[in-house]
Amino acid sequence: MDRLLISLDTALRTVFADHAAARPCPQAAVEGPELSAEEKRLSAALMRVNHVGEVCAQALYASQAWGTDNPALKAQFDAAAREETDHLAWTEQRLKELGSRTSLLNPLWYAGAFGIGLLAAKAGDKVSLGFVVETERQVEHHLNSHMDRLPAGDQASKAIVAQMRDDEVAHANAALQAGGVELPAPVRGLMRLAAKVMTTAAYRI
């Protein structure tokens, strides 16, 4: 019951609360020019997708921490989730600066990711860690693509995305070192398909 209540509290805070980062928001070395209205819309859509990714990350780490009996692994998942909270706060802040909003479907994204994370956890710690590795590798690829797609003058968003990418790489490496195994190709393909559906919808809604 305690775990259930904690998980419910985490879900509500992730989806509905404002978030405070433990680390300062990354700053661009040089400020870019004022963005046009069209550039702001593009940046906001991409940052909304990135925010959804962080909502899903919170759900995944919460469910995987719940599903393991290994205290060290649980602590690793909890530590990664705290870094992902920084990402939530940074993307929320940037969306406000761009005059936009987070995804209206965040409760759905959280619930779906929580269920997937719990399934991964129930498959065993090595598979659960392997799921983290594959997830973070796909997120790294996705963030690299956003670095290319963001308007050239949006140095503020690019600074945030670059730090997020570095953190995700570190999470993947930590999971690999902790014993994560490579997932079968069909599973990796299904993960890419699910991510495509999420990013396409979150770009607009």
Q: What value does the mean pLDDT take over residues 81-91?
A: 90
Confidence band for 90, pLDDT divided at 50, 70 and 90: very high
How far apart are the C-alpha atoms of 12 and 141, rounded to whole Å?
Answer: 29
Residues 6+ apart with CB under 8 A from 88: 14, 19, 51, 54, 55, 58
Residues 6+ apart with CB under 8 A from 204: 45
Please state whether the predicted TM-score (pTM) of the whole model is above 0.85: yes
CB atoms near residue 185 (< 10 Å): 8
Name the nearest CA neighbour of 162 among 19, 21, 28. 28
- How many Å is the Cα radius of gyration of the chain? 16
- The architecture CATH gives domain 35-204: Up-down Bundle (1.20)
Average pLDDT score over the chain: 88
Tens of pLDDT, residue by residue over 120-132, are 888 899 999 998 9
CA dihedral of residues 129, 143, 138, 84 (deg, nearest 10): 20
Higher pLDDT, 202 or 151: 151
Higher pLDDT, 135 or 8: 135
Instruction: Say if CB 116 and CB 60 are below 8 A apart.
Output: yes
